[in-house]
Amino acid sequence: MAKYTKLDINDQGVATLTLNRPDVHNAFDDVMIAELLQALKEVEESASARVLVLRSEGKNFSAGADLKWMRSMADKNYQQNVDDAGELGLLMERLDLLSKPSIALVQGAAFGGAVGLAACCDIVLAQPRSSFCLSEVKIGLIPAVISPYVVRTIGERQSRRYMLTAERFFADKAQELGLVNEVVEDFEEPLNKLLEALLANSPQAVDACKQLIRNVGSRPVDKDVREHTIKAIAEIRVSEQGQEGLSAFLEKRPAAWLKQS
């Protein structure tokens, strides 16, 4: 049984993964990382899960890495630190590459590695007083493992500022930087609208679209990219859900995946 996380998959296919360590502001250690990895594996392999919602208990989303745990790692040797960082790296990768769309709900503080979690999700909702900080350099560290996802999300120029200064910034600035999609007072209504929109779409097409974005993002529009997009649309057109979606549209009836959700 999980100690620091909760996973629930409801009848509509919404998988809710909750960080549940509010007494330490949902700071993560090796135990929580292992639990999150297992939960994401379950969501990925679940035939019923269609969307992931990442949220947390308490007033803060996550304080990032647990400092006591980080201090204990400082007493380990280099290889032990490589192995440990590899688990956090795998967590970011698994969340980033999840085939189902993901939504992060950020309340309160999201510091350090928690910014990485947000950057790895497809959609981020934050409350107005939510705050973000790439705080690692304050304690003599660097945001290494999360850097590919954060730099991709907010850009190199803004990363130079916020990773080097460790300034705290709030939801409006996070939205301006591209880290947050929408600033909301309360999560439930905007979350329900997003879930309704996502669940109306073909699961197969959503997965393929996520792959498409990864494959063409930040690349020059050259011959390889053009050929990739041509093959991608051809593959989805002849796929089972591509055929079903086009038929349902032309026949003016609900697609089969709507009946299943």
Please give the pLDDT value at position 261: 46
Q: Which domain holds residue 205?
A: 201-251
Q: Which of 87, 40, 43, 42 is nearest to 65 (CA)?
A: 87
User: For residue 185, what is the DSSP state?
Assistant: S
pLDDT in tens, 105-146: 999 999 999 999 999 999 999 999 999 999 999 999 999 999
CA distance 220 to 214: 13
CA distance 130 to 164: 21
**Do 9 and 88 have their domain in common?**
yes
CA distance 247 to 255: 8
| 3-state secondary structure (DSSP) of residue 204 | helix
CA distance 48 to 16: 13
Contacts of 244 (CB under 8 A, 6+ apart): 202, 255, 256, 257
Among residues of the chain, what percentage have pLDDT more than 70? Answer: 99
Determine, yes or no, domain membership for 108: yes
pLDDT, mean of residues 84-99 = 95
Least confident of 191-195, 196-200, 231-235: 231-235
**Do 59 and 119 have their domain in common?**
yes
Please give the pLDDT value at position 259: 62
Please give the pLDDT value at position 73: 79
- Other C-beta atoms lying within 10 Å of the C-beta of residue 208: 19
Determine, yes or no, domain membership for 14: yes
Distances (CA, A) of 139 to 20, 143, 233: 25, 11, 48
Q: What is the CATH number of the domain that holds 62?
A: 3.90.226.10
pLDDT, mean of residues 84-90 = 92
**Do 46 and 150 have their domain in common?**
yes
pLDDT, mean of residues 63-73 = 87
Element containing residue 151 per DSSP (H, E): helix 147-154
CA distance 164 to 134: 8
**Do 100 and 24 have their domain in common?**
yes
**Do 110 and 186 have their domain in common?**
yes
**Do 211 and 151 have their domain in common?**
no
Please give the pLDDT value at position 129: 97
Please give the pLDDT value at position 216: 92
pLDDT, mean of residues 153-171 = 98
Distances (CA, A) of 186 to 108, 134, 197: 13, 25, 18
> In terms of DSSP bridges, do strands 123-126 and 102-106 run parallel, antiparallel, or are they unpaired?
parallel
Please give the pLDDT value at position 192: 98
CB 178 within 8 A of CB 153: yes
Please give the pLDDT value at position 80: 87
pLDDT, mean of residues 196-203 = 96
Q: Which of 162, 178, 195 is the last residue of a domain?
A: 195
Determine, yes or no, domain membership for 256: no
**Do 170 and 54 have their domain in common?**
yes
**Do 185 and 210 have their domain in common?**
no
Instruction: Name the domain count of the chain.
Output: 2
**Do 175 and 212 have their domain in common?**
no
CA distance 165 to 176: 18
**Do 156 and 29 have their domain in common?**
yes
pLDDT in tens, 26-60: 999 999 999 999 999 999 999 999 999 999 999 99
Please give the pLDDT value at position 187: 98
pLDDT in tens, 212-258: 999 998 788 999 889 989 998 889 988 998 888 888 888 889 999 88
Please give the pLDDT value at position 250: 83
